[in-house]
Amino acid sequence: MNNKRKELIVSAISNGTVIDHIPANKLFQVIRILDLEKSDKEVYFGTNLESKKYGRKGIIKISEKYFEANETDKIALVAPTATLIEIRDFEVVKKSTVNIPEHVEKIAKCFNPNCVTNKEQVPTKFKVIKVDGEIKLACHYCEKNTSQNNMVFH
């Protein structure tokens, strides 16, 4: 019988945030929208990890980083199943799921190139809608819908 160890040990972070339960196909989009590729802090990530609940998932650990509401809104729009785990002195101090906001302002661009928000200095404003399990942004000004795959964040 083969008793070889089949897990990879990754260093625990002393202070920071773990984003768990990211859909595997959304992991790199979450990294991009949070500008983690520009971070000077330790960032660990894994994708296509086994998940009993979701089949496959992604996970990100960021040292010395705690997220503001506008950042968690971005995560929720792209990865609505994500869980945020705050770590302080190697201990979990807070664990929460992301909440899909009803409205978002100034964090995403309208998909419509003719929208006033893309022509003038007008801040974006969207209603967040769920259609067949997918999240879409309905522009307050031009009423066009932006699908999850076409979301571009500021």
**Does residue 77 sit in the same domain as residue 40?**
yes
Residues 79 and 127 in one domain: no
| Domains contained in the chain, number | 2
Whether the pLDDT of residue 108 is over 70: the answer is: yes
Residue 63 within a domain:
yes
The stretch 86-108 carries a mean pLDDT of: 95
Buried b (16+ CB within 10 A) or exposed e, 84-114: bbbbeeeeeeeeeebeebeebeebbbbbbee
Q: Which of 110, 121, 119 is nearest to 143 (CA)?
A: 110
pLDDT in tens, 46-57: 999 888 877 899
Q: Does residue 146 share a domain with residue 87?
A: no
pLDDT of residue 100: 93
The residue from 81, 97, 113 where one domain ends is 97
Q: Tell me the residue range of the domain where 108 lies.
A: 103-150
Q: Is residue 11 part of a domain?
A: no
Rounded to the nearest 10 degrees, how much is the dihedral formed by the CA atoms of 90, 85, 63, 81?
150
129 and 85 inside one domain: no
Whether 80 is in a domain gets the answer: yes
Please tell me the pTM assigned to this model. 0.86
Region 64-71 average pLDDT: 94
Q: How large is the average pLDDT for residues 58-85?
A: 95
